[in-house]
Chain A
Amino acid sequence: MTAVVYVVTWIALAVFVVACLARVVKWSRMPMHLRWELYPVAHEGGGRARYGGSYLEESKWWTKPRKVSLLGELKVMVPEILFLVALREHNRKLWTRSFPFHFGLYLVAIATMWMMFSGIVGAFVPGAASILGSITTTAVPVVGGVGLVLGLVGAIGLLLRRSSRELRDYTAPADRFNLGFFIVAFTVALATFVIVDRDFAVVSAFVANLVTFHMVAIPGSGLAALLPMLSAVLLALLAAYIPLTHMSHFIGKYFAYHAIRWKDEPNLQGGDEEKTINELLGQPISWAAPHIQGGGTKTWLDAATEEQKS
């Protein structure tokens, strides 16, 4: 049983990492697209981001240095990630469910990552284990516990919201399954915390063994052993499942903002982008409408420059 728990958890975590990386690679390798930005663009400098202005507000903009502010991006992205500001502004009803759900997830992820970090450092740095262990037993129960409660409350709220008149018809069985999966995994994890592992000692020991590749059996018997094993497996499977679904928007959102919505770099004459654009224009098209008749041989350039008979 112990081996099964460890192997399933390892595989699930590996799937999570590989699936996330695959998503990142997929979005990174997307071909250049036509500009499709939406203002405000957060990195616009010179105070323009505040009201949604752009460098195109200047006459002969191509002769002037662009003012780009990384701080401006951070000022939008950090509150957006932490507090879901856009949802709060435009859909308060959903935000009251979605914010606790996401913030709970963040806290659970932080607690998990701390336990992983603590496990690795504790194994290789003599003397660190006791210091890290004391932080784990004091901080992780608070962070993890609050995270699980918030995540569970949020997931239940979202599931109920999906049954509302507005969302019901736009909810597929998979949407309910996804939220149900969260509810079950968080409920089991919360039960583990409340019933058998108030100081996260069992779970943190399991995580330490997991990241140092020691298959040490979870101590105890009955519920005391079963609940931690079950919650570990469920949470790991959940982690593996998320990036395989549309819930991978936590990755997609970065690209949606940085590679599309805020992607406003101009293609200046003689600049680096022209070569890429020429390559893209040299690709064949197969659009079949009478005014195109691409046929898989005509290129974009051919189609764009062919003379239209009068």
Chain B
Amino acid sequence: MKEPRSVTDIAANPGQPLAHIETVEQVPLPPPFDDVDSEPGITPLSEEARAKYEVLDDTIAVSIAKPESKEEEERLVGLFLSGLEKLMHREDNWTFLAPFEMSMEHCARCQTCSEACHIYEESGHNELYRPLYRSEILRRIYFKYVKKESPKVHGDIELNWEVVARLIELSYRCNLCRRCAQTCPIGVDNGLLSREIRKIASQEMGIAARELHKDGSVLQLKAGSSTGMTPLVVKDNLEFIDEDTAERVGFEVTTPWDVEGADILLIHNAGEIMSWPENPGAFAVLFNAAGLSWTLSSEIAAYDAINYGVWYDDIQFARVAVKHAEAARKLGVKRIVLGECGHAHKALTVIADKVLTGDLNIPRESAITVMLEILRSGKVEVDPSRNDFPVTLHDPCNMVRLMGIVSPQREILQQVLPPGRFREMTPHGVDNYCCGGGSGFAIMSGHNFADWRHHLPGRKKFRQILEAFGDEPMDHDHPKYVCAPCSNCKGQIRDILAYYDAWEKAGIYYGGLVELIVNAMPQVQPGFIDWEWH
């Protein structure tokens, strides 16, 4: 089946994919990537995977094992229904009851949201990926099986394990970027409904993407970080990063740990420490140069800003948020500052706002506003001519559309780049497109999922990047910088650029924001950004 023809097709062809994407049906990318025949495709799923797990389309995100008996199927369907019912409870779901019920009851099913979705667009408008497709299935199940209302009012659907399993998989075909919600004339949030489906699966059925749950929030709460780094290991790694950074910049660099009474507790996404050590290194250089009173914490979970619960599970979210706040309380810091990680920003600053009280309610802010304050104060000098290359800016959805931090990063770029070197993507700011790695996708690579996320959600961002640099020579000899002040976005952009071989073919590189500031500091040896492909 190329695509489902109707909502009820979600139950069609059990065991077979409901949709298939052909590159030739997609809108070609801008040059030099406009030859659709030479675009890397999606590696076919293995026969073993198809036999073992529930299948929705060309890929598998959640790896939902096929039940071994009819009884097991019925038990899981029953759990799905009880979870759906709990989403309407004031006790079980006070966290999202109002937004959830609003979106369940008031959707006019007008499809205004569809054109806002980059996945739907890049799929060649495949029906399966409409924001409304999965929401409509959820609504029909809810009104027919939970509220026992007539299907004539809300539409009909038959409920069985195939439908439940596919709906859960389908909730992992949404980046939760909420661009669809932004366009809804009524205020319905079909992005939220994807998250609520994930919640039913995780909180009631015990089903979640392994990278988010077992290898994500569970590991973070047990070992200290989803990277597996224990407190001892992370301190070792930072010591190494300090040494490496000192060599790069030409003077000593020290990252302070567990400083009681410091002004700032800085929390990085631990992925930066593992994959982009220049980022925490640059923070140390900048914060020390500005004379800030700051520290990292070696408490469990507090040296990793990630909070994957925001994508699939309220309880896991709250557990991690509390750990972050407890570490800050223990040190007696005055504020928590989030490093370059979008979802960590939103999780701890905005969403945890209605979870943390009393002495856990320690003020939280973005590292971007702190960096801007440093530049505005004049405590750190910058020489924009050191960043004499074209730069475009990716707006992480969590920081921008969902938090309203739009202007500071642009003001920073104005200060650290020579005139004419910065160009916006179209659209940008709160109207931006997700990098394609949102909602956990950036760290999900099971089976062939990485191919899928590059080929559909990430393709829109790659298109935007190419368009932003459209006036530059597209070759390896003319390096260009995509500034992505978010660890997950950066990971996704790294993967897209690698997927399309964009460094070799077009000289497109990527990195964070703080690196551009440090690269422009006169006291730093030239070449902090070394254009070394990761």
Which residue numbers of A lie inside 8 Å of B, CB to CB? Answer: 27, 30-41, 44, 48, 51-62, 80, 84, 86-87, 89-91, 94, 98, 166-167, 169-175, 246, 248-249, 252-253, 255-257, 259-261, 264, 266-269, 273-274, 277-278, 280-281, 283-292, 294, 300, 303-305, 308-310
Query: CA separation between A294 and B86, bound complex, in Å?
Result: 12
Given A172-B153, A274-B357, does the pair A37, B402 have CB atoms closer than 8 Å? yes
A59 touches B105 (CB 8 A): no
Which one of B94-102, B245-253, B379-387 contacts A? B94-102
Cβ contacts under 8 Å, A33 to chain B? 94-99, 354
Q: Across the two chains, which residue of chain A brings its CB closest to B9?
A: A169
A259 touches B98 (CB 8 A): yes
A166 touches B365 (CB 8 A): no
A281 touches B355 (CB 8 A): yes
Which residues of B in the span 1-43 have a Cβ within 8 Å of any Cβ on A?
Answer: 5-7
Which residues of B in the span 99-139 have a Cβ within 8 Å of any Cβ on A?
Answer: 99, 101-102, 105-112, 114-116, 132, 136
A53 touches B99 (CB 8 A): no
Interface membership of B513, Cβ < 8 A: no
Cβ contacts under 8 Å, B372 to chain A? 59
Query: CA separation between A116 and B203, bound complex, in Å?
Result: 53
A286 touches B153 (CB 8 A): no
Query: CA separation between A84 and B108, bound complex, in Å?
Result: 14
Which residues of B in the span 397-445 have a Cβ within 8 Å of any Cβ on A?
Answer: 400-408, 429-430
Cβ contacts under 8 Å, B105 to chain A? 246, 252
Q: Across the two chains, which residue of chain A brings its CB closest to B111?
A: A166
Cβ contacts under 8 Å, A90 to chain B? 112, 115-116, 183, 185
Cβ contacts under 8 Å, B314 to chain A? 34
Q: Across the two chains, which residue of chain B brings its CB closest to A168?
A: B6
Contact of B102 among A53, A55, A255, A291 (CB under 8 A): A255
Query: CA separation between A258 and B337, bound complex, in Å?
Result: 29
Interface membership of B154, Cβ < 8 A: yes
Inter-chain CB contacts under 8 Å: number? 264
Given A252-B106, A283-B91, does the pair A61, B365 have CB atoms closer than 8 Å? yes
In the complex, besides A52-B404, A86-B112, A303-B319, 14 extra interface pairs with C-beta distance below 8 angstroms are A31-B97, A56-B350, A56-B405, A57-B406, A60-B365, A89-B183, A91-B115, A261-B181, A267-B361, A281-B357, A283-B91, A285-B92, A287-B204, A308-B222
A278 touches B357 (CB 8 A): yes
A304 touches B318 (CB 8 A): yes
Which residues of B in the span 177-207 have a Cβ within 8 Å of any Cβ on A?
Answer: 178, 181-189, 192, 202-206
Q: Across the two chains, which residue of chain A brings its CB closest to B110?
A: A94
A303 touches B315 (CB 8 A): yes
Query: CA separation between A30 and B372, bound complex, in Å?
Result: 39
Most chain A C-beta atoms within 10 Å of own C-beta, residue among B189, B369, B403, B408: B403
A39 touches B223 (CB 8 A): no
Cβ contacts under 8 Å, A34 to chain B? 95-96, 314, 351, 353-355
Contact of A39 among B115, B188, B315, B400 (CB under 8 A): B400
Query: CA separation between A248 and B350, bound complex, in Å?
Result: 30
Contact of A56 among B108, B223, B366 (CB under 8 A): B366
Q: Top 7 A-B pairs ranked by shortest CB distance?
A: A54-B404, A256-B187, A52-B430, A304-B318, A30-B98, A91-B112, A308-B221
Cβ contacts under 8 Å, B188 to chain A? 256
Contact of B363 among A54, A60, A248 (CB under 8 A): A60
Which residues of B in the span 455-500 have a Cβ within 8 Å of any Cβ on A?
Answer: none
Given A90-B116, A255-B98, does the pair A249, B404 have CB atoms closer than 8 Å? no
What sequence of 0s and 1s flags, for each residue 142-163 of chain B, a beta carbon within 8 Å of any chain A beta carbon? 0000000001111100000000
A277 touches B355 (CB 8 A): yes
Contact of A59 among B182, B356, B365 (CB under 8 A): B365
Cβ contacts under 8 Å, B430 to chain A? 39-40, 51-52
A38 touches B178 (CB 8 A): yes
Most chain A C-beta atoms within 10 Å of own C-beta, residue among B7, B79, B404: B404
A289 touches B111 (CB 8 A): no
Minimum distance in angstroms from A82 CB to a CB of chain B: 13
Interface membership of B335, Cβ < 8 A: yes
Interface membership of B373, Cβ < 8 A: yes
Given A40-B430, A288-B204, does the pair A35, B102 have CB atoms closer than 8 Å? no
Query: CA separation between A266 and B406, bound complex, in Å?
Result: 19
Cβ contacts under 8 Å, B52 to chain A? none
Cβ contacts under 8 Å, B7 to chain A? 169-170
